[in-house]
Structure 1
Amino acid sequence: MTVDQVINLDDDLPKEVIIEDKQAQEQLRLISELDKDDRAIIFKMIDKMLTSKKFKEFFKKNVASL
């Protein structure tokens, strides 16, 4: 029995994810060429932006319910 069979007991294998946005794909390729510290900085900035966005949405939703 393979690992895929154990994880996906209903025999549905995961589908391959294909990035359709060529610009994003190129940016990811270029980011992967950066040194470790620069990559870490970029990913920290992205995480910070996403966290801020989620917090703002959460705050708006909860203030609206008051």
Structure 2
Amino acid sequence: MDLANNIKTIREKQNLMQKEVALHIGVDKSTYSKIEKGLRELTVSELSKMAKLFNLTTDQIINYNENIIPKEIVIEDKSTLEQMELIQQLDEEDKSTVFKIIDKMLTTKKFKDFFNKNVAAL
């Protein structure tokens, strides 16, 4: 499958109309129609906006296969921006848990750095 077909399939599976996706990514309906027909390339910005609307990563849209169960996402393999986008896709409770863990780790690191700096000064 190519990107145009992937986009159309995902849109239809999510019960979205072309005009809804077009509005979300900032193009008119006729331009969006050309995207789904493969007559117009998608910009990176448009693909990114589409990923947010579909609640998928850009990679999941580009390599979409409706017959494959989503594979495990390894956050370490992603850029910092992609990591934050993935975290933002979590529900509020999970997001809160992730940020609490990060806060705890940062606090622990600050204490270690402070301790090492001050012990080294003795």
Q: Same fold (TM over 0.5)?
A: yes
Task: Extract unaligned runs of 5+ from structure 1.
Answer: 1-21
- Percent identity between the two aligned chains: 60
Distance 1:49 1:33 in 2: 22
The answer for the alignment partner of 1:24 in structure 2 is 80
Look up the match of 2:104.
48
Q: Compute the TM-score of the two structures, normalised by the length of structure 1.
A: 0.62
Which amino acid in structure 2 is aligned with residue 44 of structure 1? K
Distance 2:121 2:101 in 1: 30
Of structures 1 and 2, the larger Rg is shown by 2
Higher relative contact order (CA 8 A, sep 6+): 2
Q: Does 1:57 align with 2:57?
A: no
Q: Following the alignment from structure 1 to structure 2, what is the Cα–Cα distance between the partners of residues 33 and 47? A: 19
CA distance in 2 between counterparts of 1:26 and 1:65 reads 40
- 1:34 counterpart = 2:90: yes
Give the secondary structure class of the aligned counterpart of 1:49: helix
Q: Which sections of structure 2, spanning at least 5 residues, go unmatched?
A: 1-77
Question: How far, CA to CA, are the matches of 1:38 and 1:48 in structure 2?
Answer: 15
Alignment length, in residue pairs? 45
Deviation string, structure 1 residues 16-57 (Cα, Å, up to 9, x no partner): xxxxxx711111111111000000000011111111111001
Structure 1 vs Structure 2 CA RMSD: 1.2
